[in-house]
């Protein structure tokens, strides 16, 4: 039997174009994933560089396909988007994250949780209303929910996107630009869209200590974000050398394997309670 996990996902993404029966089988299974209880959110800590404390979490979706191991979201999210399944899945993600926020709040663990939002979801006409409905139903303070959006989500209709972001912010929800630096008009976007946080893509973090050009970019970005009053989260920090450079260059928070991989809710809770420092 085949595994879809780990570093084989790129291989499978390529072969998906050819093996459409494989893709159809995947789609059929994905359709049943929620009902079969196969979806799960993992939580990766965001750590404050100044205090070394966990100050947030990013919810990352996992699919335990037919209990055969985890399928990478890099593989099934695009499929979910193509097939429209992302609507149901995206709603499940927001609800589950809100329920988790509620559970942690009740335990006295005040941790904002960020969810990734896909283009299809964000561009639904009733996205904001629907989000507020879920927050209200779950009794969650909107200040504890963050949305991570990529630039490509916002380009479809800029004016509408700006209006939506403003509405979300007026409701108290935080908004981040994800994968910053990988799009094509990033600087202009910082100007136009009212983000709270910029997530510096891992491509500017990986081996940054060895690459003067990357260093120049990180320095310029962090200087700019200071003026723009944006929080910066460095993504995918893996080594002490990367961390040292990030630490010295005005990033506020980090996320990465150097501190912790994405964890189950129970693992994350355990880590919070043991309150480790970086």
Binding residues (CB under 6 A) for ligand C2E: these are 44, 60-61, 72-74, 77, 93, 115-116, 118, 148, 178-179, 202, 236-238, 255-257, 262
What is the rounded CA–CA span in Å between residue 271 and residue 256? Answer: 15
For residues 97 to 126, the per-residue mask of contacts with Ca ion, x marking binding by CB under 5 A and - elsewhere, is -------------------x----------
**Does 179 interact with Ca ion (rule: CB under 5 A)?**
yes
**Residue 52 CA: distances (Å) to CA of 47, 48, 233:** 6, 5, 14
For residues 220 to 239, the per-residue mask of contacts with Ca ion, x marking binding by CB under 5 A and - elsewhere, is ---------------x----
Residue 10 C-beta: closest distance to Ca ion, Å: 14
* Token reading at 235: 């993504």
In the bound state with Ca ion, the residue whose beta carbon lies nearer, of 22 and 206, is 206
- For residue 9, how many other CB atoms are within 10 A of its CB? 16
In the bound state with ligand C2E, the residue whose beta carbon lies nearer, of 170 and 276, is 276
Residue 236 C-beta: closest distance to ligand C2E, Å: 4
**Does 148 interact with Ca ion (rule: CB under 5 A)?**
yes
What is the rounded CA–CA span in Å between residue 265 and residue 97? Answer: 10
The site partner of 77 among Ca ion, ligand C2E, none (C-beta below 5 to 8 Å per kind) is: ligand C2E
Residue whose structure tokens are 């009740």? 106
Residues binding Ca ion (CB under 5 A): 116, 148, 178-179, 235
């Amino acid at each position: 039997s085949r595994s879809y996990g780990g570093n084989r996902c790129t291989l499978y993404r390529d072969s998906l174009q050819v093996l459409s029966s494989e893709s159809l089988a995947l789609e059929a299974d994905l359709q049943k994933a929620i009902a079969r209880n196969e979806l799960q959110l993992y939580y990766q800590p965001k750590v404050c560089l100044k205090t070394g404390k966990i100050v947030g979490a990013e919810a990352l979706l996992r699919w335990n396909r037919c209990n055969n191991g985890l399928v990478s979201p890099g593989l099934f999210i695009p499929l979910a988007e193509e097939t429209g399944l992302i609507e149901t899945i995206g709603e499940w993600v927001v609800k589950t994250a809100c329920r988790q926020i509620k559970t942690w709040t009740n335990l006295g663990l005040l941790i904002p949780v960020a969810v990734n939002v896909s283009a299809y979801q964000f561009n639904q006409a009733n996205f904001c209303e629907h989000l507020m409905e879920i927050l209200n139903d779950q009794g969650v303070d909107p200040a504890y929910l963050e949305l991570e959006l990529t630039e490509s989500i916002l380009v479809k209709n800029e004016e509408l996107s700006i209006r939506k972001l403003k509405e979300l912010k007026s409701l108290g929800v935080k908004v981040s630009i994800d994968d910053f630096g990988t799009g094509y008009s990033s600087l202009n976007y910082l100007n136009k869209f009212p983000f709270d946080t910029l997530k510096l893509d891992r491509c500017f973090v990986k081996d940054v200590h060895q690459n003067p050009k990357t260093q120049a970019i990180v320095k310029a970005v962090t200087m700019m974000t200071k003026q723009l009053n944006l929080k910066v989260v460095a993504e995918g920090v893996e080594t002490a050398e990367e961390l040292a450079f990030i630490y010295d260059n005005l990033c506020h928070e980090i996320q990465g394997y150097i501190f912790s991989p994405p964890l189950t809710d129970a693992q994350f809770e355990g880590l919070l309670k043991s309150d480790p420092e970086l």
